[in-house]
A and B are shown apart, each in its own frame.
Chain A
Amino acid sequence: MKILTKRAFALFILSLLLVSGLIVFIISYINNASDWVQHATNKHLYKNGQLQTTGKIYDRNGEVLLQTVNGVQKYNDNEIVRKAVMHAVGDSYGNVVTSAQVAFGDRLSGWDMVNGAYRFNAQRYKPGSDMTLTLDAEICSAAYKALNGRKGTIGVYNYKTGEILCMVSSPSFDPEKRPDIEGNPDKYEGAYINRLLSAAYTPGSVFKLVTAAAAIDMIDNIDGKVYQCEGEKIIDGDKVTCPSAHGNVTLKQALAQSCNVAFAEISLELGGNALQKYADIAGFNTSLKVDGILTAIGKTEVSDATGGDLAWAGIGQYNDTANPLTFMTYVGSIANDGVCVSPKIVKDRGGILSLMPDFGSKDRRIISEETALILRDMMRNNVIEVYGERNYNGLKLCAKSGTAEVGGDQKPHAWFAGFMDRDDCPLAFVVILENGGSGSKSAGPAAGIVLKKAADRMMLQ
């Protein structure tokens, strides 16, 4: 019998194949069941190709952003709110892939892994579960108005809790009265894209915050160092220019004046590898996960750059790109003493999940506390010395502007990123206006309006 016992190995292989196939299925079930269940032919969720009912989507104050009434999707009553949160909530056709309706469709339809599509007494109770977003509809409206039809994006988040209060992207449209988007490609360019999450822009001078962080850590006696700016500098045949000669500047003054020549010299001093390291830490070259929604990747590739390329890279040009939300998270970490808090968009995680600790969001230190403090003081100094404290009265604003050259005859992108250094109002923000011109002059005021609104709303609660 020993010999047959050995030969029965064939059967053993057969049953192992069966077991491994089952394991493959279980893994695929865990990963994909939420997609399978959303197929339009699933009679548990759909009738005649229409979702029977979805849960409601609320903003953080209980304002209904989306509900289904008698099988028809109904968005917020206010048209401005509808447009302002369109990218966060999504349209009825699933065009915005990062929207709650797409990303959390399984949950909104009432599906979960344990219960499947089962709902107790489906006739009487609505199937589908509600969800609350961290957004504040009023701040979003204010941001949408501040954008005033210009293409761009405004984001505001709480750098202590990670909650995104404002996520507005323009151009937007009213999901209840869908305009002819395909017919107006210019007006609705990228209307389905949430620019805060899914775009990557040339950062321009806001990138100097990354270079400055590297300089503070890596260059000895950076406080005492003085850089001489004569308005331009030739590096290996490449010309780096400033609007005017800044004279002798320290790092602090160079950041405030946004002196390209000084930062070009600092970049050369740091070298490509150091700059690359600090850019990677700041979130470049990686995708951020916001409750499972992946952001676009901002890129910095300077490890091999030298001379003029390296100099331009250090001031946010060359081939640098930045994702708005990722960069907002970086300035948020400066505000939060160097600790990066993952941004999130879902306020209640729902069901049993809400009872368990959130393993998804990990706070991690990306800048040392000392460096973060120095950067904060320098950003505060920017506002007081250059942008004008009276424009941002009472906000205790710390910020950096950016005017990113995009080549050709196009006007530069206007960036304004920073935070409020207030314990009662710990908000970081980013404002980008595509081809908006000067960062501090066009994006700055929009940021001011939104932040004042946000501060008022926070005080109110």
Chain B
Amino acid sequence: MGFMIESVKLYYNEIVALMENVGATIGIYMSNPLELAEFYTLIVRWIFPVLSVLILFRCILPLLRDGGPNHIWGFLETKEGYRIPLKHWENSIGRSRLSDIVINLPFISRSHAVLSYGENGWTVTDLGSKGGVEVNGEKPDQSRPVDAGDIISFAGAEFLFLAAEDGCETIEPKGKLNWLINHGSSFNNIKTLLLILAFQFLGGIQIYLTCIGEGTHLSIPLPFGLYILAECIYYFFLCRFSRKYMELELLIFSLCGLNLLVVAAVYPDHLMKQSIAIILGMIVYTAVQVIIKDLGRGRKFKYIIVVCALILILMNLTIGEYRFGAKNWIDLGFITFQPMEFVKFAFVLAGTATLNKLLTTRNLTAFIGFSGTCIGALIIIRDLGTSVVFFTAFLVIAFMRSGDIRTIALISSGAALGAFAVISFLPYIATRFQAWGHVWEYADTIGYQQTRTLIAAASGGLLGVGGGKGYLVGIPASDTDLVFGILCEEWGLIVALTALMSIIFLSFLVLFLMRGCKSSFYAISACGAASIFMIQTALNVFGSIDLLPLTGVTLPFISNGGSSMVVCWALLAFIKSADERQRPEREVIEEGMVE
């Protein structure tokens, strides 16, 4: 008993001290109620990476189903009654392995003819073959229309041409990696949309709570609300009127959400303008899709747009204004914009051609002329980053059109020499190259933006410090050129990398869709658009983290900027148009499951 008392005495003082400590701690909490924003950030910073990875997977997997051709537009029937399906609007015929319809007979040329569908129905075009093409015994000059029931003879090999019933027949394509992709088919895209909206809603609140008290009460929630509303309306519009997959739009919705979160952190005042730009982008996106759905209309549209682009270039050269060292803005009083952004769209469109044109003329002069004009104008207005974007897109499109590696190599080496000359003669470009790879040695001078981006990226860690809590926002051009740094710092490396993967995925999607494209018009435009996205992403991200010289181009869909946003949506329309697949109806899936 005595021992007990002794030990109680021994611990008495310690217990009292402990109680006092606990009391004091509670007292501190009571007297300084914790800010709501602090607690909010503590929790949601774990949610954003999870949401972004989930959204990425839920959008990517369904889009990788059913690759390859999935419509049959007509048939060529042999005398024996065997039917060769025409799976595209443009089918090349020849002995070459790369023809869509391979006829392995010695008197057939390697590239013999093209059978294409256009505004005037089906046409057969002779590609200057030795054996020639005859329709119902007549030899056309170069091309002539064919109707169902006509006999087409390729150097004596005769086929009966038949159009598919109801215009086209749907076929079930076989894709690779089905075990993974079929899993994606069970994803419900309304749930994906809800995840995206949740990200934007929680993110908007995060920024709002952080910036509260800085006099920005309505300027943040209102644009977010508007954008979320637009997303919902667009989604239901798609459900009602489109039978295509919707995951591409959903993926871009999530990127545009990040764009608003970045703008909200850097320039809350620009938020309304930016969400209007996104909505405008959606409208342009839909309009372009409708216009180029018809190839004839698409071709007319191409000439109108190219003329508009030339006018824009001319305007830029005359009434353009200098901002950040480049004369790439036009101020019309009621609106300011970057004309060269819009020229990108025209550039891709100018590069397109249908397969029969492509294989008969092989003429790139007009396209090279237009490209030269664009790139020349860009060098004059000192926007070298964008000229690199144009040049890369030019290489991709020119290669798609000609397939001639030697010409492309010649052009590239010429351009490399030109670039070398430009770099040596223009001192402000030379300084950028001087900093490249050594930014830490020039941390406060010419490597200022890059080092700050790296510091910000490292400070964010995997989860980020929370939206609106970064310091990179104070650095010039942080909302455009260094936007990757803001994503890393405020939202974490995981969110930033998933955003980049979403953009990179666009390119893999285009490659995936290539086989099933109806027309080379869509194939080339989709490749051109994707290559612009890729090169812009590379220049923007790698420029800001010192893997490439800093050139000042925007990150597609994420950088602040109205012109850039609208044009990105317009370019996306090319990718969307290359996608011919129809989403499986839910009823069909459910029936299948019952069986």
Contact = CB atoms under 8 A, between A and B. Distances in A.
B527 A112 contact: no
Contacts of B469: 118
B interface: dominant SS = helix
B38 A37 contact: no
A120 B471 contact: no
Interface in B500-551: 500, 504, 507-508, 510-511, 514-517, 520, 523-524, 527, 530-531, 534-535, 537-538, 541-542, 545, 547
Nearest to B500: A22
A116 B547 contact: no
A2 B100 CA distance: 6
A111 B457 contact: no
A32 B500 CA distance: 21
A39 B396 contact: no
Interface in B386-418: 392, 395-396, 399-400, 403
B276 to A, nearest CB: 30
Interface stretch (A3-11, A68-76, A77-85, A430-438): A3-11
Contacts of A29: 457-458, 493
A61 B355 CA distance: 80
Contact of A118 (B399, B464, B534, B541): B464
Given A5-B514, A10-B531, A11-B527, A25 B396 contact: no
A7 B454 contact: no
A117 B545 contact: no
Interface string A1-31: 1111111101110110111011011100100
Given A4-B517, A116-B460, A17 B465 contact: no
Interface string B481-495: 000000001001100
Contacts of B537: 18
Contacts of A22: 497, 500, 504, 541
B34 A121 contact: yes
B463 A116 contact: yes
B365 to A, nearest CB: 19
Contacts of A33: 457-458, 461
B99 A2 contact: yes
Contacts of A17: 538
A1 B534 CA distance: 23
B514 A8 contact: yes
B455 A8 contact: no
Instruction: Classify the secondary structure of A's interface with B.
Output: helix
Contacts of B396: 10-11, 14
B520 A15 contact: no
B465 A117 contact: yes
Contacts of A2: 92, 97-100, 515
Contacts of A5: 514-515, 523
A34 B514 contact: no
B98 A6 contact: yes
A11 B534 CA distance: 8
B461 A114 contact: yes
Interface in B73-127: 87-88, 90-92, 97-100
A12 B523 CA distance: 14
Contacts of A362: none
B90 A111 contact: no
Given A2-B98, A37-B459, A10 B523 contact: no
B504 A10 contact: no
Contact of A4 (B41, B489, B492, B523): B523
Interface residues on A, range: 35 or more
A252 interface: no
A124 B32 contact: yes
Point out which of B97, B400, B403, B471 has the most chain A C-beta atoms below 10 A from its C-beta. B400
Contact of A8 (B444, B454, B511): B511
Interface in B16-34: 28, 32, 34
A422 interface: no
A113 interface: yes
B100 to A, nearest CB: 6
Interface stretch (A41-49, A167-175, A229-237, A381-389): A41-49
Contact of B461 (A11, A32, A118): A118
B42 interface: yes
A14 B395 CA distance: 11
B404 to A, nearest CB: 10
Interface in A65-121: 111-118, 120-121
Given A1-B520, A25-B547, A117 B515 contact: no
B458 A37 contact: yes
Contacts of B535: 14
A57 to B, nearest CB: 23
A19 B504 contact: yes
Q: Which of A7, A25, A37, A39 has the most CB of B within 10 A?
A: A7
Nearest to B515: A5
Contacts of A7: 399-400, 403
A41 B511 contact: no
Residue among B489, B514, B515 with most chain A CB within 10 A: B514
Contact of A1 (B88, B451, B455): B88
Given A2-B98, A19-B504, A22-B500, A44 B538 contact: no
Nearest to B474: A43
Contacts of A32: 458
Contacts of B97: 2
A7 B510 CA distance: 12
Given A5-B515, A116-B460, A39 B534 contact: no
Interface in B33-86: 34-35, 38, 41-42, 45, 69
Interface string B143-164: 0000000000000000000000
A36 B457 contact: yes
Contacts of B524: 4
A37 B457 CA distance: 8
For B69, B88, B542, which residue has the most chain A Cβ atoms within 10 angstroms? B542
B523 A1 contact: yes
B455 A116 contact: no
Interface in A327-344: none
A11 B530 contact: yes
Given A2-B98, A15-B507, A39-B443, A115 B461 contact: yes
A44 B465 contact: yes
Given A116-B465, A118-B465, A18 B534 contact: yes
A77 B396 CA distance: 69
Given A2-B100, A4-B520, A41-B443, A114 B463 contact: yes
B462 interface: yes
Nearest to A44: B459
Contacts of B517: 1, 4
Contacts of A120: 38, 41-42
B327 interface: no
Nearest to A12: B511
A43 to B, nearest CB: 4
Contacts of B395: 10
Given A1-B515, A115-B461, A44 B90 contact: no
A43 B463 CA distance: 18
Contacts of B403: 3, 6-7
Contacts of A1: 69, 87-88, 90-92, 100, 355, 514-517, 520, 523
Interface of A: 1-8, 10-12, 14-15, 17-19, 21-22, 24-26, 29, 32-34, 36-37, 39, 41-45, 111-118, 120-121, 124
What 9 pairs between A and B have smallest CB-CB spacing? A116-B461, A33-B458, A36-B458, A15-B507, A37-B458, A117-B459, A43-B471, A118-B465, A5-B514
15 contacts: A1-B516, A2-B99, A4-B355, A4-B514, A4-B523, A8-B523, A11-B396, A14-B392, A18-B534, A21-B541, A22-B500, A24-B547, A41-B444, A116-B459, A118-B460
Given A11-B507, A37-B458, 17 more contacts: A1-B100, A1-B515, A1-B523, A2-B98, A3-B92, A7-B400, A8-B527, A11-B510, A14-B392, A33-B458, A41-B455, A42-B455, A44-B465, A116-B459, A118-B463, A118-B466, A118-B469
